[in-house]
Amino acid sequence: MLMGIFNLEPLERIQPIPKAEFIKNYHRPQRPVLIENLTNAWNDKWTFDHVKSLVGEQTVPLYDNKPAQGKESVYEPVTSMRFSEYIDLLKTQPTDLRIFFYTLKDHCPQLLEDFEYPDIGLKFFKRLPALFFGGGLSKVFAHYDIDLPDNLHIHFEGSKRVVLFGPDQSKYLYKVPFSIHNIDKIDMENPDFDRYPALKYARGYEVYMKHGDALYMPGGWWHYITYLDGGFSMTLRALPRTPERAAQMLYNVFVMRLIDNTMRGIQGQKWLDFKERWAYRRTQRLLSHRSQRKT
């Protein structure tokens, strides 16, 4: 078995720059970048303890690293816990339990007063600032966001590793049809190049985030996230930047997802297995064509 590592470059890190420069160098060409010190002007309320003081009595749904099987919903939590107990868990021991898409408007509107939308040229969707929490064993499977937003992902407490692949790398990642992820048996930290040889050709970026770092992820970029210790992040989402992307977003949300959910409800695990076989055969055919062009 040939285990390996992905071909990853360190992601560029910059200090805050003028809006026109950000648009020219990153937003328009859709280049990811990590911006350090973007939150320096914010207050000191972006901590575990402050969040706990605001919403500690809430009961929150929690998710783990296991992919959904059969007719299970990917949005079905594995357990729930009082927020205060969950934060204590993150601060004291490793766990794979995560909070997914905790919207401030619905659950913690007080925090909406404690940040400013960065003036970097993105048209943020201001109804959907959302928090994501994870522990030292948490992983977020490789995927891209179904609605194709440009994301500004800002991290607090602890640190985490993010691996990024551009949309043009999907053909090497064994993307599953009617889905936004790849084959879930792929180990993104120790990829098996014998079983999944196309992974050798994928080119991506790697970045380590600490408190206050902001990661710009253009729409359609794949991301795989590993929490190195307990922490949380806020994602600010921007509307699709072109009519073509808006049309693709509408297809993804209202057509592709409907087809997938319907077939999953009817066939369960058979549908999931069929899609993964399809993904594998399609990617292997691409490799065969690539080899033929070289000979």
In CATH, what number is assigned to the domain containing residue 103?
A: 2.60.120.650
Q: Is residue 135 part of a domain?
A: yes
In a domain, 2, yes or no: no
Pairing of the two strands 203-209 and 160-165: antiparallel
- 32 within some domain: yes
Torsion of CA 76, 80, 82, 85, to 10 degrees: -120
**What is the mean pLDDT of the segment spanning 193-209?**
97
Residue 157 lies in a domain: yes
Domain count, the chain: 1
**How is residue 271 written in tokens?**
């549908």
Indicate whether 1 belongs to any domain: no
Predicted confidence (pLDDT) per residue in 75-103, tens digit: 789 999 999 999 999 999 999 999 999 99
Report if residue 70 sits inside a domain: yes
**Cα–Cα dist 245/134, whole Å:** 30
Q: What is the pTM of this model?
A: 0.95
Range of the structural domain that residue 160 is part of: 7-294
Q: Is residue 50 part of a domain?
A: yes
pLDDT given for residue 43 in this prediction: 78
Per-residue pLDDT tens for 217-244?
999 999 999 999 999 999 999 988 899 9
Q: Give the tens place of pLDDT for each residue, 113-150.
A: 999 999 999 999 988 899 999 999 999 999 999 999 99
